[in-house]
Amino acid sequence: MDVQSARYAALASRLVVPLIVTVPDRGIDAGLVPDFLIDGRRLFLNPFELQAVRRALLGDPVASLASDADAIRLVAAVDAVITRAYG
C-alpha cells in the first residue's frame, strides 16, 4: 500500500506498507493492523514493515483507501507504530 503523500510524487521512491492475508500476531492490538476489503479479499495493513521502495518497482494501483474512514484507520496504525518509538 503506497502511503506517501502526493506532495512528494516527484521522488524516485515511495513509502509503502504491506497488506497481508493474516494478522501477524494475535497479541497485537487490532487497531495496529486494520483490515480492508480489497477486490473481495480481507487484507490487513502491516505497519511494522513500513519501508521505502523505488517507484519503478511498483505496479499499477488496484484500489484506493482514500475514503475518510479508511484513511483515518491507516494513518492511526502507522502513527501508533512510529510515535511510540519516542516514548
Tens of pLDDT, residues 28-78: 787 889 999 999 999 999 999 999 999 999 999 889 888 889 999 999 999
Q: In what order do the strands lie in the sheet with 19-20?
A: 19-20, 41-45, 35-38
Residue 46 exposed, middle or buried by CB count within 10 Å (0-12, 13-18, 19+): buried
pLDDT score for 84: 62
pLDDT score for 82: 87
Provide the residue ranges of all domains of the chain, joining segments of one domain with +. Answer: 6-86
pLDDT score for 81: 87
How many angstroms separate the first and last alpha carbons of the chain?
Answer: 27
Measuring CA to CA, which residue among 29, 23, 6, 4 is closest to residue 14? 4
Domain 6-86: which CATH number of 2.30.30.110, 3.20.20.70, 2.20.25.240, 3.40.50.20: 2.30.30.110
Question: How many angstroms separate the CA atoms of 55 and 84, rounded?
Answer: 28
